[in-house]
A and B are shown apart, each in its own frame.
Chain A
Amino acid sequence: MTAEAHGIWVVLPAGVGHPGRVIAEVLGEAKRLADDTGTEAVAVSIGAGEPDEAPDDLASWGAARILQCRASELGTFHPERFAAATAAAIRARVPQVVLFPGTSIGVDLGLRTALIMKRRFMSGCVDFAISDDNMRVTRPAAGGALQTTELIAEAPYLVSLIPDTVGSALPEAGRVAVLDEFDCPAPPATSLRDGGFAPGDPKTIDLVHAEIIVAGGRGAGGAEGFAVIEEVANLVGGSVGASRPAVEAGWAPYERQVGQTGRTVSPKLYMACGISGATQHLAGMRESTTVITINTDAAAPINSVAKLAVVGDVQEVLAALARMLRERRVARAA
């Protein structure tokens, strides 16, 4: 198989929303390996439709060829169907290396593909080197205290790269990739049924994805104030956020922190309660569609980005708001 194996593949399941930086990094690594071995880096899109990434982006990140493996039966991402399609494409085109993005979906797809092909999958690699008849991979071991080096003897080598290890090279505009297609055979019957997407719980989702955030700061009035903030957040179906001083005071956990040293958020509604609006905080929520503030100080910098600025005590205003929301809920239920 090794003799005719050709190309360094990066498998991109369509419709799973992989971050561009992850794809850029894997494609950059594929290009490096391709340059080392005198072959080409190929972005392989698996799915019913177009790849998520624009062809120009894929080319600028290092893909010399874009192979679209399509079958209408593939539908939205399904681990078993997509693995079958990936394995079929690998068998038909015989690449030398198949890189999977080191995301949870990428690694899952790699594992399942490898099992279909009865091969080994080396997940969680941090470095690769290809020689004539083997590939050497380096992986962290013992919680990162050690690194192990292993050899894979027979191509195609199926591997994944841990994201953010080698970093991505600067994209080179002007590169052009050849467009290529592969008609996937109809995927086999599967044992998993797609139950569709369900929205995440606003209480626990990452603030980055939250549509409504009710955030508290130093003026929120301690843990008690945060209890009211949480109540309002629950009533409006929102998530709790916090400024750095509130997190440092222990009123909210770090993953709720908005700002330069926390999450950068862009919800449809951001309610800043008792937050003065330090530059570092503004940097993390400036992109919110609508900002409402509650603050005792009318001159607080946060009011410069507010559509509605309520001047008053956070706990008083929020308690009144919570009461109103509860009454409205009762009225609606009646």
Chain B
Amino acid sequence: MTDEHRVIEIVVCVSPSMEDERRHAPWRFLYELELRAVELARLLGKRDDVHTTAVSVGPPGPTSQVLTECLARGIDQAVQVGDDWVEDGLGVAACLAEALRPVAPELIICAQRSGTGAHGVVPAALADRLGLPMVSNRA
């Protein structure tokens, strides 16, 4: 592929949907802050040379619910990682890092907090694992 046809890969990380979230909004699986992350990825993905991927770590059911919503919202591709709940943010970051290393995305977008743990550990730990700089608290 020549440089003019280079495709910029942008990844957005989303947490699997939880029963609890669904109770409040049965039509929606993405947690509110993550919705913004997905929307940012979609807007950036409007360019022809940008390809967007949503990634979620967790059991097939809840991850496919949330990833389907990402696709419906305009993300190009969805990748599900793992087959069970990974309780801890550091564990989630480790899974994401392994999945994303071969992809070598230009930009990884995470919500400030996820819908599951909501401790905000994943982005920093993921950046640390991949040896990438992290810019946090973007508006």
Contact = CB atoms under 8 A, between A and B. Distances in A.
Contacts of A104: 112, 136-137
A115 interface: yes
The residue in B115, B134, B135 that gathers the most chain A C-beta atoms within 10 A of its C-beta is B134
Given A104-B137, A120-B90, A192-B135, A143 B20 contact: yes
Contacts of B133: 80, 190-192
Nearest to A116: B128
A101 to B, nearest CB: 14
B21 interface: yes
Interface stretch (A106-114, A213-221, A236-244, A283-291): A106-114
B118 interface: yes
A76 to B, nearest CB: 15
A79 B20 contact: no
A139 B135 contact: no
Q: Chain B's interface: helix, strand, loop or mixed, by majority?
A: loop
The residue in A80, A115, A122 that gathers the most chain B C-beta atoms within 10 A of its C-beta is A115
A257 interface: no
Contacts of A145: 20
A112 B18 contact: no
Interface string B87-122: 000100000000000000000000010010111110
A159 to B, nearest CB: 11
A108 B136 contact: yes
Nearest to A103: B137
B124 A115 contact: yes
Contacts of B125: 111, 115
Contact of A111 (B21, B118, B121, B135): B121
B121 A108 contact: no
Contacts of B132: 191
Interface string A34-59: 00000000000000000000000000
B118 A124 contact: yes
Interface string A107-147: 11001100100001111100000000000000111110100
B18 A142 contact: yes
Given A192-B133, A192-B135, A108 B124 contact: yes
A115 B128 contact: yes
Contact of B137 (A105, A121, A139, A140): A105
Contact of A143 (B21, B90, B119): B21
A124 B119 contact: yes
Interface in A219-264: none
Given A120-B90, A143-B20, A143-B21, A108 B137 contact: yes
A111 B124 contact: yes
A140 B121 CA distance: 15
Contacts of A142: 18, 20
The residue in B112, B117, B124, B132 that gathers the most chain A C-beta atoms within 10 A of its C-beta is B124
A120 B87 CA distance: 14
B15 to A, nearest CB: 12
A141 B21 CA distance: 12
A11 to B, nearest CB: 16
Nearest to B113: A124
A123 B119 contact: yes
Nearest to A79: B136
Contacts of B112: 104
Nearest to A112: B124
A203 to B, nearest CB: 13
B56 to A, nearest CB: 18
B18 A139 contact: no
Nearest to A146: B20
B115 to A, nearest CB: 8
- Counting from the closest, the 10 A-B pairs by CB-CB distance are A191-B133, A111-B124, A115-B128, A104-B137, A142-B20, A108-B136, A123-B119, A192-B133, A124-B119, A123-B120
Given A107-B120, A191-B133, 10 more contacts: A79-B136, A80-B133, A108-B136, A111-B120, A111-B124, A123-B120, A124-B119, A141-B117, A142-B18, A142-B20
8 contacts: A79-B136, A108-B137, A111-B124, A112-B124, A120-B90, A121-B121, A141-B117, A191-B133
